[in-house]
Structure 1
Amino acid sequence: MSLGQELAPHLPFLRRYARALTGSQQHGDAYVRACLEAIVAAPGDFPRDVDARLGLYGMFQRIWSSTNDNDEPEAAPPEGDREGIARARLSRITPLSRQALLLTAMEGFTSEDVAYLIGVTPEDVNRLVSEALEEIERQTQAEVLIIEDEPIIAMDLETIVRDLGHDVTGVAVTRDEAVAQALAHRPGLVLADIQLADDSSGIDAVKDILARFSVPVIFITAFPERLLTGERPEPTFLITKPFQRSTVKAAIAQALFFDESTVPA
């Protein structure tokens, strides 16, 4: 099997991580492209002493760490004030702690794997994750709209959201209901399933909402590969079903991290 064939199954999930880390599909996908270009240019530098997935993320981390103050690669142009927002957040959560949290909670790596990826000890990883979680507890709270047609999943999400200290503005099960609820009580964050009860799309519901006002969105799907191709406009934040509580917590924290409305004056 060629190196390209080994890496292909892992690329969608690397895009998920990169987008969550940068708060942008555009910036995240640019980092992934830079990573792949580096591998193609020097395949002999790809680590063969670890499995392909860990090696791929390791190459990505090398690209990320080599940039100055986490500036995006040249392929990604500026995106409004988002980078300034991120820098304001970075003054309170260090980049390394965010990486450790996302790599463990969202990508499912062990502390030992993350230690390899970011160049620290497993004990340091645990400390960094604890630091990030402590900062999340102090993060500005948001009002959350949940768009989910499966009652059990909706209840689970509502419990997680409330346990994190956020409020739930409502639970919508169709596109029209989601838009109506968003307009009636403007949320600070949207959690949206892809497929809704009346065969409508959570993506279309979000597009309708975003046409009225800006709000951070986290999509939830059982088929993440379909929304992580890098070939078209796609979600920045994505949770895979079935999800873990820690994954939802990390995704919410990261989405709010980049949201303009939650940056202190």
Structure 2
Amino acid sequence: MLNIMTRPPLGVVRQFSRAVFADRLIGDELMRMTMARVSIDPASSSSSVVDVMSAFLHSWRMALQERPSRPVLFSDAALIDALPAPPDDARLLLLLVDVMGLTPQQAAEVVGVSENPATVLKLAREDLRIDKQARAIVVEDEPLIAADIRGILERLGVEVAGEASSAEEAVKVATRSKPDIILADYNLDGRNTGIDAVVEINESQDCPVVFITGFPDRVLQGDEIEPDFVISKPYTPENVRAAVVHCLDARRA
């Protein structure tokens, strides 16, 4: 994994907030609301990723506790009230370690886990399973990486319904196979990127996408067209498993 401690803290928070819900719009709204409530300055050179992540999660929890019984329509309280329940501490720890790249100790500090984080993480990994049938397509122009991702998915019990090495091919494969989830590289053969493919695919079907990229901050700039869920290269099987299972869980909740 890339060294997350050297990345801009707000980019890390944005990636995590989107990952929690596997949704760009909801994740960005949650980040906007929570970070407006904290006193920490994410741009300060003294603010570490762990500091900013801890402030984000604390602000979210406080907003949940303080929400009124009948929030005003279109208010931040109404947004909080409409969101699904936050994942439990074990799943948050899993996302922070296996998707975001924090160490278990750093993740435990962010979440506030007092138990041995290695034990909590082990149990969370063992609990990763897909209870319903799921179909995936893999969009990757490196054959060895595509084969590796296919193997990870198949061991999870996910059917790989197709593969593509370009954005144009990905659109055709998705139209034909109607996948439940897409795993896509950002940089592909040809002129178009993985995001170009997803934009076109989403015009006809709502399909969650896990982007796998060596440059997460290049695709997490707060622009209109961005991925919902990102993991960094070089990835591990744990990264992909956590991302896929959580993404499907979030979309089916």
TM range (shorter): 0.7 to 0.9
Deviation at 1:77, TM superposition (A): 6.9
Equivalent residue runs for 1:142-181 within 5 Å? 142-181=134-173
Q: Give the distance between the partners of 1:69 and 1:153, measured in 2 at CA.
A: 44
Tell me how far apart the structure 1 counterparts of residues 100 and 40 of structure 2 sit (CA, whole Å): 24
Question: Is the Cα–Cα contact under 8 Å of residues 173 and 196 in structure 1 kept in the other structure?
Answer: yes
Give the partner amino acid of 2:93.
A
How much does 1:106 deviate?
Answer: 1.4
Q: Which residue of 2 aligns with 1:24?
A: 23
Aligned to 2:70: none
2:195 and 2:241 map into 1 onto residues whose CA distance is 21
Q: After TM superposition, give the deviation of residue 139 of structure 1 in Å.
A: 3.4
Higher mean alpha-carbon deviation, 22-31 vs 171-180, is at 22-31
TM-score by length of 2: 0.82
Matched, 1:55 2:87: no
Q: Which amino acid aligns with 1:20?
A: A
Residues 239 and 8 of structure 1: CA distance in aligned 2, closer, same or farther (over 3 Å): closer
Residue of structure 2 in register with 1:210 after alignment = 202
| Residue matched to 1:100 | 93
Give, in angstroms, the shift of residue 190 of structure 1.
0.6
Report the Cα distance in structure 1 between the residues aligned to 2:214 and 2:134, rounded to whole angstroms. 25
Compute the RMSD of aligned alpha carbons. 3.1
Query: 2:108 matched to 1:109?
Result: no
Q: Which secondary structure does the structure 2 equivalent of 1:197 belong to?
A: coil
Give the partner amino acid of 1:67: A
1:66 is matched with 62
Q: Give the aligned length.
A: 240
Which consecutive residues of structure 2, in runs of 5 or more, have no partner in the other structure?
Answer: 68-73
Deviations along 1:89-117, one digit per CA (max 9) or x if unpaired, are x7xxx521221111111122222222222
Q: Which of 92, 114, 131 in structure 2 is aligned with 1:121?
A: 114
* Counterpart residue identity of residue 233, structure 2: K
**1:187 counterpart (168, 179, 182):** 179
Distance 1:206 1:77, change over 3 A: farther
Q: Which runs of 5+ in 1 are unaligned?
A: 1-5
AA at the equivalent of 1:16 = Q
In structure 2, relative to structure 1, the CA distance for the partners of 1:70 and 1:150 (3 Å cut) is farther
C-alpha contact (below 8 Å) 1:27/1:76 kept by paired residues: no
Cα deviation per residue 1:160-205 (whole Å; 9 max; x = unaligned)? 1111111101111122221221222211111111222123221121
Q: Does 1:248 align with 2:240?
A: yes
CA distance in 1, matches of 2:128, 2:47: 32
Report which stretch shifted further, 151-160 or 134-143.
Answer: 134-143
| Contact 1:21/1:98 (8 A) holds in 2 | no
Separation in 2 of the partners of 1:110 and 1:61? Answer: 17
Indicate how the Cα distance of structure 1 residues 206 and 138 shifts in structure 2: closer, same or farther if over 3 A, else same: closer
1:35-87 residue CA offsets vs partner (Å, 9 max, x unmatched): 44334xx349x9x9x9712111111121122132798x9449759xx94xx45
User: How many Å apart are 1:216 and its aligned residue?
Assistant: 1.1
State the distance in 2 between where 1:69 and 1:167 align.
Answer: 41
CA gap 1:188/1:240 in 2 versus in 1, 3 angstroms: same
Residues 137 and 160 in structure 2, CA contact (< 8 A), matched pair in contact too = yes
State how far apart, in whole Å, the 1-side matches of 2:240 and 2:40 are.
35
Partner SS, residue 200 of structure 1: coil
Q: Say which SS state the counterpart of residue 213 (structure 1) adopts.
A: coil
SS of the equivalent of 1:144 reads strand
Does the residue aligned with 2:128 lie in a helix, a strand or coil?
helix
Q: Tell me the distance in 1 between the aligned counterparts of 2:169 and 2:130.
A: 32
What SS does the aligned partner of 1:65 have?
helix
Residue 33 of structure 1 aligns with which residue?
32
CA distance in structure 2 between the aligned counterparts of 1:156 and 1:10, rounded to whole angstroms: 30
Question: Any idea what the Cα deviations from partners look like across 1:122-161, whole Å, max 9, x if unmatched?
Answer: 41x3343344333322532411100111111111111111
CA distance in 2, matches of 1:238, 1:102: 11
